[in-house]
Structure 1
Amino acid sequence: MQIDTLSDFLTQAGTEFRLFDLGRRLQPLAHSDFAAIEAGQRPYPWPLQRHAWLAVCYWQQQGGQPYVWFLKIPLDERGLFNNAAVKHFLAALVEQLGGDIHAPLTEEQQQNLADTPFTFQPPQDKLAAFHARLSLALEHAPSAFYQGAVDYLNAPARHNWQQLGLQGLADVAARLHKDDALARRVQQQLWQLPAPVQQALLTQCEHHPLPAALANNIITAISAEQERGEPDEERIALLLRATAGCAPFRARSAKLSSLMSLNPGQPVLLALAARLWQELTDETLLLQYLTLLAEHHGDLFNGLFAELVSVPALRPLILANLHNPELPAPLKQAFGNLFAASRG
């Protein structure tokens, strides 16, 4: 039996499966897209540190316990899957199963697989977002913490926020785009919530699409923060990231353009690269962003450039501008330093 890819294994083992990216933020990955990636027909769309950070959930077609793998697959310089790494993991997997790919994994076997160099443990916020999104995708009930979070949002004064579970807030965030009443309740209460609850909920929001009214309300809160005597850039970055699961929309694009003209600090610039890279497909904003890095944050330039140029949606735009004679002098110099360093 020839098994060369994860899809081969999961299909031949008679499983149903769902795929998610957990790199920059949580995103579902369609089977057809994944098959093209595995076949080397297209680069991985959301690389981080030259790896694909995958969550793979699978279960037997006739039912049974679902299993989850968190796989860290190396990518080559073109962003394509390192097939040797995938085959190494699959060989370890088949060995654990004693050659029977239909056999269920024991807890010990799961742990043995977790000890390979191709697995990782997501941080708690992404893990909570993943479980919330998965339960929604599989039409399962939310966690036992969900109702407590909803009860708290309905009457914060009557409940102790310190008793809230992160998973409950994750379940709320995952359902905002499907539950209008819940979204309205969150929008009504969000800015009155204690800072730790507000921050945890906003952090969960970045992994999911949001209703337009809530997303616009969050962007408006950035303006309110900017009007303070000493605006908190960490908070501005948090608010921007909270809308990262939304497709580009006018209010956010306008706010980002405004922020770039004000020479923002590192928190905002890092948030843009880490969570909102899709906004940088606007060439004007991209060049403005790279120029700001080159002129004011040279210590960040090389690392963020390497990350951004690895993103397939941005790579052609960046490469097309490397020798653009109209570039500002600081950006020309930064590119020149990159070329000099690559030549050794």
Structure 2
Amino acid sequence: MNPSLNAVQQNIQTLYQLLDVAGCDYAVYDTGRLVTKISNNDFIAFEDGLKPYPTPIQQMAKFALVYWPKQSKHNPYIWFLNLPIDEESLINSGARNHFVSIITEALGSTFAAEDSAQQKIPDNPYIKPPEEKKLAILNAKVKQDLGQPASPEYLKCAAYFENYQAGTQQASSWQQLSTQGMADFVTDLTLPNNQNSFDNVYFDLPLALQTELASLLEHAVISRALANRLIRSVRQQQFTLDQSLTNSLRILASHANSQNFRELLIDLLATESGKSTDVLTVLVARNWSALQQDICLVAFLEHIAVNTSPSVFNALFADLVAIPSLRKPIFQLLAEELMLPETRKALRNMVSSQQRV
């Protein structure tokens, strides 16, 4: 091994140090639950073992590390990383160090200067791209954050909703829109023209298109006006368990921490639809921020303890306590003797079943 390369490897302990040595700026996006940006300061604290990963899933930190040579944002590179974490969502430094060593051994410390560098990374267990919709949303968010133009398909999508609003667009023609075009459009819903045309036509769109959009909109920010209309619609439909309900819950992800949504969640739990495994899974996977309020957290935990099978309760509870913003509040509630009686019973049953295995 080259002595200078060996010295570089010994000095590099983290991904952010690796990128600094390579002369790169970078941005980090969670790709596990919702495609959202993680600040560089929070990412550094995570890598240094000072903070848990904010949104873990399946005991993994799944994120896109987007980097580019300084002063050259036109052609960023992306690593889709899946790093194991411990039960408190802190980084597994051994796995991270292993990945860093793979990069430095294969590419050296000047990898960002080579256009073909991405093709030289050896197979490893840490790089795995997310599914298509998340890739499209990530691409849209990166282009927006770096000031790059949206895809050519974006204009087709914007025109579709404008023309639909004007009554000059056939509903079925949405199938000609590309996933990337729709992702670029929903990422730009903060633009007044886009927001206006979309908000005005959403409830008239074909259910198939609403469902297609839900898998993109859950990563975007819809207007407060549309969020309130969705909440009213769910109530007017009397919480009927259908595709529209799960679509609405997913689309409302960006407003899950609002009081209106929390009130909706409490009322939903009192219905038959609130017992649906699909609905409960969406609430945990996409709307968990609503549970950061103790009233909602207690109601949800007691609800799943009584109204789900042991296997479903175990899976939902494990997912909830894996989220750092909920883990501490849950254990604090369990430490209070009179709180969460049904949850305690379900947990005792879980422990007993595990001991019998």
> So what's the TM-score if we normalise by structure 2?
0.89
The equivalences for 1:129-168 within 5 A come to 129-156=137-164, 157-158=168-169, 160-168=173-181
Which has the larger displacement, 215-224 or 267-276?
A: 215-224
Provide the residue aligned with 1:32 in structure 2: 41
Provide the residue aligned with 1:92 in structure 2: 102
Provide the residue aligned with 1:270 in structure 2: 281
Q: Residue 54 of structure 2: SS of its match in structure 1?
A: coil
Give a deviation string over 1:286-320, Cα, whole Å, max 9, x none.
12211221212122111111111111111111112
Give a deviation string over 1:129-159, Cα, whole Å, max 9, x none.
1111111111111111100001111113435
Displacement after TM superposition at 1:186 (Å): 0.5
Provide the residue aligned with 2:4 in structure 1: none
2:12 to 3, 10, 20: 3
Q: Residue 28 of structure 1: SS of its match in structure 2?
A: strand
Provide the residue aligned with 1:206 in structure 2: 218
1:70 aligns with 2:77: no
Which has the larger displacement, 206-215 or 330-339?
A: 330-339
AA at the equivalent of 2:199: Q
AA at the equivalent of 2:246: A
2:67 to 35, 54, 58: 58
Provide the residue aligned with 2:302 in structure 1: 291
Give a deviation string over 1:182-232, Cα, whole Å, max 9, x none.
1111011111112222222232111122221122122222123327xxx23
1:246 to 219, 242, 255: 255
- Answer whether contact 1:55 1:69 (CA < 8 A) is retained: yes
- Give, in whole Å, the separation in 1 of the partners of 2:340 and 2:24: 54
Q: Cα–Cα, structure 1 residues 94 and 105, in superposed 2: closer, same or farther, change >3 Å?
A: farther
Q: Which has the higher helix share?
A: 2
Displacement after TM superposition at 1:112 (Å): 5.1
2:330 to 298, 307, 318: 318
The equivalences for 1:184-263 within 5 A come to 184-226=196-238, 231-246=240-255, 248-263=257-272
Q: Cα–Cα, structure 1 residues 152 and 331, in superposed 2: closer, same or farther, change >3 Å?
A: same
- Answer whether contact 1:16 1:58 (CA < 8 A) is retained: yes
Displacement after TM superposition at 1:343 (Å): 5.6
- Give, in whole Å, the separation in 1 of the partners of 2:140 and 2:112: 28
Displacement after TM superposition at 1:110 (Å): 2.6
1:282 aligns with 2:290: no
Provide the residue aligned with 1:47 in structure 2: 56
- Extract unaligned runs of 5+ from structure 2: 1-7
Q: CA RMSD in A?
A: 2.0
- Give, in whole Å, the separation in 2 of the partners of 1:300 and 1:233: 20
Displacement after TM superposition at 1:282 (Å): 1.4
- Give, in whole Å, the separation in 2 of the partners of 1:240 and 1:305: 20
- Answer whether contact 1:225 1:232 (CA < 8 A) is retained: no
Q: Residue 207 of structure 1: SS of its match in structure 2?
A: coil
Q: Residue 321 of structure 1: SS of its match in structure 2?
A: helix
1:117 aligns with 2:125: yes
- Extract unaligned runs of 5+ from structure 1: none
- Answer whether contact 2:106 2:122 (CA < 8 A) is retained: no
1:171 aligns with 2:184: yes
AA at the equivalent of 1:82: N
Which has the larger displacement, 42-51 or 216-225?
A: 216-225
Give a deviation string over 1:87-142, Cα, whole Å, max 9, x none.
11111112221454454251xx5345373100112111111111111111111111
Runs of 4+ in 1 over 6 A off after TM superposition: none
Q: Cα–Cα, structure 1 residues 191 and 65, in superposed 2: closer, same or farther, change >3 Å?
A: same
AA at the equivalent of 2:105: E
- Answer whether contact 2:256 2:262 (CA < 8 A) is retained: no
Which has the larger displacement, 243-252 or 256-265?
A: 243-252
AA at the equivalent of 2:69: Q
AA at the equivalent of 2:324: P
